[in-house]
Amino acid sequence: MRILFFGPNGSGKGTQGSIVKDKYNIPHIESGAIFRENISKGTEIGKKAKEYIDRGDLVPDEITIPMILGRLQADDCANGWLLDGFPRSKEQAVKLDEALKEANMALDVVIEMILDRQIAKNRIMGRRLCENDNNHPNNIFIDAIKPDGDKCRVCGGALSARSDDQDEDAIDKRHNIYYDTDTGTLASAYYFKAIAEKDGSLKYVTLNGEPSVPEVTEELVGKLG
């Protein structure tokens, strides 16, 4: 199964992606990790990408698309893959679609996790880390995992917030790109939605990102089959 996974920061997309990975035995590929891998291994394409990154410029699609395609053709992708974090613009969606077709890797499913922008932002800003265990979920804006006063709901440990999670400007910047339905990430998701509606060559699945993690997983698995 070849899957593209869309969802805003704060939607729990990463968590659901890793569940899909285990259930369908396909790698969960994050576009950022592909860049880091190519750069750390010093591949030709990684070197080119690094020049742009070092200058603070966006890496052009002519470099990004072949880099991603290369990862999707690796040995561990025999059963398919789940790509997360790309495309981010409508232009990239068109180019990725073309490249996948040329490589004979038709997309099977596109998943869009739907979550209101303000809720997504609250979820990021509401995250709290437990001093005893990073895996103890605490979020002051999610009822199911609300801390016990100012202590961890699991173990009573002291809680703190990551500074990244409190950087409202950075969150807004990422969400501006994601929620842009004209040229941004949602526009790229809708590009695939239109294909699904037009010729049914792929399945477009929407997921309500509001319920708890197990509930979202249940909906997802039910829809993927």
Binding residues for Zn ion (CB under 5 A):
130, 132-133, 136, 152, 154-155, 157
Is 60 annotated to bind ligand? no
Q: Hey, CA dihedral for 64, 66, 72, 76, is it positive or negative?
A: negative
**Rounded alpha-carbon distances, angstroms, from residue 109 to 65, 74, 180, 194:** 19, 20, 21, 13
Burial class (CB in 10 A: 0-12, 13-18, 19+), 102: exposed
Q: Name which of 27 and 156 has its Cβ closer to Zn ion.
A: 156
Q: Name which of 123 and 136 has its Cβ closer to Zn ion.
A: 136
Q: Name which of 132 and 208 has its Cβ closer to Zn ion.
A: 132
Least Cβ distance, residue 145 to Zn ion (angstroms): 11
Least Cβ distance, residue 193 to Zn ion (angstroms): 40
**Cis (ω within 30 of 0) for the bond into 87?**
yes
Is 71 annotated to bind ligand? no
Least Cβ distance, residue 62 to Zn ion (angstroms): 47
Q: Name which of 80 and 156 has its Cβ closer to Zn ion.
A: 156
Q: Could you tell me which residues are annotated as the binding site for AMP?
A: 31, 36, 57-59, 85-88, 92, 162, 174
